[in-house]
C-alpha cells in the first residue's frame, strides 16, 4: 500500500514553497502554541493578563492597610531627611567648635576657653578647652609659689580639681595623658606627695610610650627618695614676697634650704 503524503499547499512566500502540516496534528496530539497558530504577541498578552490578575489580587490585599503603609513611608522619609539635616548641623558645629578652640589657643586667655566650653558642651573642643583652663591655672599657681603662697594655693587647687574632673570622664589618648600628668604635678606642688607619685606611676604604666613618660618616671623616683618629704615641708614653710620695686633693698635672707631630693633610678 502506498502511504499518503502530507497535503502540501501551493502557496509561495518569498520564493519558497510553504507546506500545510495540519494533517499531522491529529496524529501527534496537541501541538505547542506556536505550532497551533498562536503568535508571540498573543503569548505576551496572556502573560500580561496573568500579571495584571496577580497585581489586582495584591492590591486587594494591601488596600485595607494602604493608609498605614503611606504613613510609614512618610515617617521613614521624614526620619531620613531629619538625619541628613542633623548630621550636617553637627558637622558644622564640630568645625565651628574647633575654630573657636584654635582662636582661644592663639590668645591664651582662660576666659576664651571657658567660652568654648559653654558654647559647645560635650564636644572634643570643649574637652580640650577644659584641659587648657587647668593648664593655665597650674602654670599661674607654679609661678605664684615664689611670690605668694596664699595666692598660689587656690590656683593649684583649682587646677587639680579640673584635672580630676577630666579624668572622671575617662578620656582617651593625649587628653588622658596630659590630664594624668597635670594632676600629678598639681598634687606635687600642693605637697601631696603620695598622690603625686601615684599619678606619675600611673602615667608610666598606662602610657609607656608617652612623650611625658620619662619625666613622670623621674619625678616618681624623686618623690620616693628619703629626703623628698623634708624638702617639701621646708619649701611649704617659706614666706615668699615679691621683690621691692626700684628700692634697691633686699629682704632678709631666708633660712638655708635642705638639699633637694635626688632622683633614684
String of DSSP letters for 26-85: TTS-PPPTTTTT--HHHHHHHHHHHHHHHHHHHHHHHGGGHHHHHHHHHHHHHHHHHHHH
List the single range of 89-93, 213-217, 235-239, 260-264 with lowest mean pLDDT. Answer: 260-264
Q: How many helices (H) and strands (E) does the chain have?
A: 10, 2
pLDDT in tens, 106-161: 999 999 999 999 999 999 999 999 999 999 999 999 999 988 888 999 999 999 99
Is residue 175 pLDDT above 70, yes or no? Answer: yes
Mean pLDDT throughout 217-241? 90
pLDDT in tens, 22-69: 444 444 555 454 444 556 666 666 666 777 777 677 667 766 766 776
Cell numbers describing residue 207: 602610657
Angle subtended by helix axes 228-237 and 213-224, to nearest 10: 90
DSSP 109: -
Of residues 77 and 153, more confidence is placed in: 153
Q: Which among 187, 184, 262, 183 is positioned nearest to 221, based on CA atoms?
A: 262
Q: What distance in Å separates the CA atoms of residue 129 and residue 138, rounded to the nearest whole number?
A: 14
Burial class (CB in 10 A: 0-12, 13-18, 19+), 200: buried
Q: Which among 123, 114, 117, 115 is positioned nearest to 95, based on CA atoms?
A: 123
Domains of the chain: 66-237 (1.25.40.10)
pLDDT in tens, 4-23: 444 444 444 444 444 444 44
Q: What distance in Å separates the CA atoms of residue 199 and residue 217, rounded to the nearest whole number?
A: 10
pLDDT in tens, 193-222: 999 999 999 999 999 999 999 999 999 999
Cell numbers describing residue 24: 499531522
Asked if residue 147 lies in contact with residue 240, where contact means CB atoms within 8 angstroms, the answer is: yes
Amino acid at each position: 500500500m502506498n502511504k499518503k503524503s502530507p497535503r502540501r499547499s501551493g502557496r509561495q512566500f518569498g520564493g519558497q514553497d510553504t507546506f500545510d502540516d495540519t494533517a499531522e496534528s491529529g496524529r501527534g496530539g496537541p501541538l505547542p502554541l506556536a505550532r497551533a497558530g498562536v503568535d508571540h504577541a498573543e503569548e505576551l498578552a496572556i502573560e500580561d493578563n496573568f500579571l495584571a490578575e496577580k497585581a489586582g489580587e495584591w492590591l486587594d490585599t494591601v488596600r485595607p492597610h494602604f493608609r498605614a503603609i503611606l504613613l510609614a513611608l512618610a515617617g521613614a522619609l521624614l526620619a531620613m531627611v531629619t538625619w541628613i539635616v542633623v548630621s550636617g548641623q553637627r558637622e558644622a558645629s564640630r568645625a565651628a567648635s574647633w575654630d573657636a578652640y584654635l582662636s582661644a589657643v592663639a590668645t591664651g586667655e582662660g576666659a576664651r576657653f571657658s567660652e568654648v566650653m559653654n558654647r559647645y558642651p560635650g564636644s572634643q573642643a570643649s574637652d580640650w578647652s577644659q584641659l587648657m583652663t587647668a593648664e593655665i591655672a597650674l602654670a599661674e599657681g607654679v609661678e605664684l609659689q615664689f611670690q605668694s603662697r596664699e595666692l598660689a594655693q587656690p590656683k593649684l587647687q583649682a587646677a587639680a580639681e579640673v584635672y580630676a574632673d577630666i579624668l572622671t570622664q575617662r578620656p582617651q589618648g593625649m587628653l588622658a595623658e596630659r590630664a594624668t600628668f597635670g594632676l600629678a604635678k598639681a598634687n606635687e606642688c600642693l605637697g601631696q606627695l603620695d598622690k603625686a607619685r601615684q599619678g606619675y606611676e600611673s602615667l608610666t604604666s598606662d602610657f609607656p610610650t608617652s612623650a611625658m613618660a620619662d619625666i613622670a618616671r623621674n619625678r616618681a623616683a624623686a618623690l620616693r627618695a628619703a629626703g623628698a618629704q623634708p624638702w617639701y615641708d621646708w619649701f611649704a614653710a617659706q614666706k615668699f614676697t615679691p621683690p621691692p620695686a626700684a628700692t634697691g633693698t633686699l629682704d632678709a635672707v631666708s633660712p638655708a634650704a635642705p638639699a633637694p631630693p635626688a632622683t633614684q633610678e
